Every structure is written in structure tokens, then in C-alpha cells.
Amino acid sequence: MAPWKVWGLGGLVVLGVLAGLPVLAEEAWKAGHPGLADLLGVAKLAAYWLWFVPAWKLLIVAERRLLANVGHATLAAGLVIAALT
């Protein structure tokens, strides 16, 4: 299996984490644990960043430039969304 496919499948796991952590952070905030909520927010960004960097590098060496450009745009948009949520 090509490395970019492995990272693409890994992206599904990251997506699940990114969807779940803000919900948990909100619940922690409501329960009166703002420190835990902040920690979960940092964990969300760390999870995305740990997947983002290798995925970005794999797209740099992609044979199809259109795929690389669309991938880079998608990764950048995901980083912005992860930071804002």
C-alpha cells in the first residue's frame, strides 16, 4: 500500500479524534473543569499537527501535481478549522 494511502486512512482516525475532543472539552467546561477543557483543546491541535506534517511531506513528492495542490489546500483548511473549533 502506498504511504499516502496509509496517511489518508490515518486521516480518518484523526477526523474521529477531531470530532470527539471538542465535545469532550465542552462537557469538561460545563462540568467546571476549564483546565481539562483547555488540555483537550491542545490535544486536538497536537493530534492534527502530528498527522498534518507527514501528510504534507508525502504530498510534496506526489506524482500528480493536481493531487498535491488539492491535498495541500485541504490540509491547510483542516488546520484552520481545527484551530477555530
Mean pLDDT, rounded, for 56-61? 83
Residue 20: its H or E element: helix 3-30
Q: How confident is the model over 55-65, as a mean pLDDT?
A: 82
Contact 49, 82 (CB under 8 A): no
More confident residue, 46 or 8: 46
Instruction: Please count the other Cβ atoms lying within 10 Å of the Cβ belonging to residue 48.
Output: 23
Query: According to the model, what pLDDT value does residue 39 have?
Result: 95
pTM above 0.85, yes or no: no
Residue 74 φ then ψ, to 5°: -65, -45
pLDDT tens, 29-44? Answer: 999 999 999 999 899 8
Nearest Cα residue to 75 out of 1, 7, 6, 3? 7
Domain definitions of the chain by residue range: 3-84
What was the pLDDT predicted at 44?
87
Distance CA 55, CA 50 (A): 9
